[in-house]
Structure 1
Amino acid sequence: MTSILSPRLDHRLVTERIVLEPASVAFSHQLLEYQIDNRAHLQPWEPLRRSDFFTLDTMAARARTMANGMAAGEALHWLMLEGDTVIGECNFTNIVRGPFLACHLGYSIDHRREGRGLMREALTATIDYVFERVGLHRIMASYRPENTRSERLLSALGFEREGYARAYLKINGAWADHVLTALINPAV
């Protein structure tokens, strides 16, 4: 098991139905298409987005920031691909080393691909990578109480409820309550 992320960013993963590519500026166009196509679908679950978020310049800057975070060992950002189309994202952010060895998980999927098990497939592969290759001990994920899809997904992946946080994150312009969950690496 390794505990250091490679600055070469060779974290490409392949599952039965999808490819998970590390975020990079090379995917800016596809990332923009994904964000525009899923704008209404993702709006209730994400921070309020200004109109300039949905531009190629912003997506390129976002992809560059994600790549820089991976190079620094602070995050892992995967784009879920079917062919060359981005159909979702898996993000492990705020990676903390030392005695904590933990991170936060965030994810999203295209509105037309919900309910097909693709996110579970992607998260199974990426969680295995984070535990086995990066050596983290804890992955934390939160969801809004009304997001029953995330609740079922996280539960199926083995995440356990650890608490309830009032006004935890500013989502879609308002402070929103969240259920706090975590998954512990049994090998660390």
Structure 2
Amino acid sequence: MNPHFPAHGITTERLTLQAAHPAHSRALHTYLVANRTYLQPWEPLREDDFFEPGAITQRLNTMAEKTASGEALHLLILRDGDVIGTCNFTHIVRGAFQACHLGYALDESAQGQGLMCEALQAAIAHVFGTLKLHRIMANYRPENTRSERLLKRLGFEREGEARAYLMINGTWADHVLTSLINAGKPDS
């Protein structure tokens, strides 16, 4: 368990964010299988074994370990006890950088309700307030206008473009690079 993340999670008006844990295996499996086709254009190619319960439990173990060590913060977004999305703050770097990368996904049936914005506002407040990170970087494909609008709404600023940045759905895909800077005072 991460001493910097509440054991009961973070609660918003409609959601609960919980640190990923092997106990979530069944709920995450349901979410992943239900959204496999919907998320495919935005993610790396996934072989069938990626969706197997044992593989999901193994990934949740790794996520929990990385969260506990401070290397990442892997969160599941729950509504009424069901996993409806994920948000992951990965590649946390300390020292002079104090930064991480943000990735997120939301259930197809939960789109257009402001739920990801609500979840990310709470998660970002934790990352900046409790973890004291200075910069969160988030990148999106130029054709993903939903992510573009979400990141703008959250205050992320465009920093540039990266050609052939990530292998997405079997193809090297360009990405727009954005970041959000913590406006709070640095610790002395």
Give the TM-score band, short-chain normalised: over 0.9
Q: Deviations over 1:156-182 (max 9, x none)?
A: 000000010000001111110000000
Contact kept, 8 Å, 2:25 with 2:56, in 1: the verdict is yes
Matched residue SS, 2:64: helix
Residue matched to 2:116: 119
Residue 6 of structure 1 deviates from its aligned partner by 2.0
Q: Deviations over 1:87-106 (max 9, x none)?
A: 00010000000000000000
Matched residue SS, 1:163: strand
Return the alpha-carbon distance in structure 1 between the equivalents of residues 5 and 126 of structure 2.
16
Equivalent pairs: percent with the same residue? 59
Residue matched to 1:49: 46
May I ask how many residue pairs the two structures share in their alignment? Answer: 184
Matched residue SS, 2:133: coil
Residue matched to 1:157: 154
Amino acid at match of 1:102: A
Residue matched to 1:68: 65
* 1:126-141 alignment, distance < 5 Å: 126-141=123-138
* 1:16-95 alignment, distance < 5 Å: 16-95=13-92
Amino acid at match of 1:81: L
Which of 3, 7, 15 is residue 6 of structure 1 equivalent to? 3
Q: Deviations over 1:60-81 (max 9, x none)?
A: 0111110010011000011011
Q: Aligned pair in 2 of structure 1 residues 11, 139: CA closer, same or farther (>3 Å)?
A: farther
* Coordinate RMSD, CA, aligned: 1.2
Residue matched to 2:181: 184
User: TM-score, with normalisation over the residues of structure 1?
Assistant: 0.95
Return the alpha-carbon distance in structure 1 between the equivalents of residues 154 and 163 of structure 2.
24
Contact kept, 8 Å, 1:7 with 1:70, in 2: the verdict is no
Return the alpha-carbon distance in structure 2 between the equivalents of residues 104 and 65 of structure 1.
17
Q: Deviations over 1:103-162 (max 9, x none)?
A: 000000000010000000000000000000000000000000000000000000000000
Structure 2 gap segments, 5+ residues each: none
Return the alpha-carbon distance in structure 2 between the equivalents of residues 7 and 157 of structure 1.
23
Matched residue SS, 1:134: coil
Q: Which has the higher contact order (CA 8 A, sep 6+)?
A: 1
